[in-house]
Structure 1
């Protein structure tokens, strides 16, 4: 792995003044920039969780700039869990940080897994080119908080075939009135995607290529 691809620690500052633990890699040349948000903190989620770590490592090796972070109250991040409210500021801090780094002409994508996917949907920052959402339960916050839903920019939902919380058929109904949103089932996978993360890597590559 080239030196300029090596992930390094960084710190994010939220609009309400909290310092968040984060890690990023911004190679000198990159084709896209991706922020990845982790699953629910109250169920053990953090920036080292399986899907986040898999996407982070894959994107680093695929000519992308990538940033992952711990939500407030997780790891070395300041603050306390705020049930999806303050965490919206955490997501925006991550997006702002990566948007201001690297090549301004590269598309910037906001990705997340589970709780992180739902929180990603609350952010409609103008810098974003689209959203890549892995197993969003679509229940962490009310639908009115999903600012991305009516947005014309592309949204791909990678939904495990056997998801315990929001399987593909249920997700399809939930997003029926969204704009430019697609369901992409992950065959043989449940919500935790053990043994199926290679399919996510291929899918996010296709998404980035389509931007």
Structure 2
């Protein structure tokens, strides 16, 4: 893990980065929760998601949104933070193969930003969201969602109404007709999944391994077809 700084037109964004030795390794960007409520890239949940991607051989970047840690600027109610995340995607593309698939993962406020990236950036092939702030932010941009992903929420989320979460789940289910679109509820947990972080990370790890195994199977199948043609 190395400290990095990403520059956009107005701000300097702090991050921590792990580069896989595999030149075609998938890439992941991790986004933290609300900057004004303790969100930062060293939070336990963010660090655990980051470590999980690294252990699955991703080139992985986590950032501090503007105004947090060594990142310059001030909180911008999501508009500037979306720019920060987009700059991070550009940076990852610069330092990785053009063949590298890109994943985005976000926690709470970061999940809202991650879903916007998923809609705006065709390079993104999958997403992972934990504790979508369904009641507090507008998710109308999700229809139709272009790629499958993982949504984790808690049974006792007092910050997002159950009806709002259910509505988002239905919309995603209707727009993404894929068995790889998954939803998991963690019982007896609050919005921030306090003391339930390990349960969430196990779900994240299983989902990543599932998607990677599918990709590997497809590669092997393609190779077999190619070998048959050559013969």
TM-score normalised by length of structure 1: 0.85
Q: C-alpha offsets along residues 20-68 of structure 1, whole Å, 9 cap, x if unaligned?
A: 0111101202753211100101111111112101111222223222110
Q: Distance in 2 between matches of 1:59 and 1:45?
A: 20
Which of 119, 124, 130 in structure 1 is aligned with 2:126? 130
Aligned counterpart, 1:26: 19
Which of 43, 46, 49 in structure 1 is aligned with 2:43? 49
Aligned counterpart, 1:188: 188
Q: C-alpha offsets along residues 101-133 of structure 1, whole Å, 9 cap, x if unaligned?
A: 334434211100001001111112111001111
* Aligned length, in residue pairs: 202
Q: After alignment, is 99-108 or 29-38 more displaced?
A: 99-108
Which of 80, 94, 98 in structure 1 is aligned with 2:92? 98
Q: Distance in 2 between matches of 1:130 and 1:24?
A: 19
Q: Distance in 1 between matches of 2:58 and 2:77?
A: 31
Which of 2, 13, 17 in structure 1 is aligned with 2:10? 17
TM-score normalised by length of structure 2: 0.79
State the Cα RMSD in Å.
Answer: 2.1
Structure 1 unpaired stretches of 5+: 1-6
Q: Distance in 1 between matches of 2:78 and 2:135?
A: 11
Matches within 5 A, 1:1-211: 7-14=1-8, 16-29=9-22, 31-123=25-117, 124-144=120-140, 146=141, 148-166=142-160, 170-178=164-172, 179-180=175-176, 182-208=182-208, 209-210=210-211
Choose between structure 1 and 2: higher helix proportion.
2
Pair 1:104–1:201, CA change in 2 (3 A)? farther
Q: Distance in 2 between matches of 1:70 and 1:129?
A: 23
8 Å contact kept, 2:136–2:160: no
Q: Distance in 2 between matches of 1:168 and 1:62?
A: 32
Q: Distance in 2 between matches of 1:33 and 1:152?
A: 18
Secondary structure in structure 2 of the residue aligned to 1:174:
helix
Q: Distance in 2 between matches of 1:169 and 1:128?
A: 28
Secondary structure in structure 2 of the residue aligned to 1:93:
helix
How far did 1:149 drift? 4.2
8 Å contact kept, 1:121–1:149: no
How far did 1:169 drift? 5.3
Q: C-alpha offsets along residues 166-210 of structure 1, whole Å, 9 cap, x if unaligned?
A: 265541223422322542112332212223222222222233232
Pair 1:107–1:142, CA change in 2 (3 A)? same
Q: C-alpha offsets along residues 122-170 of structure 1, whole Å, 9 cap, x if unaligned?
A: 11211100111110112454234x3x44222113211112222226554
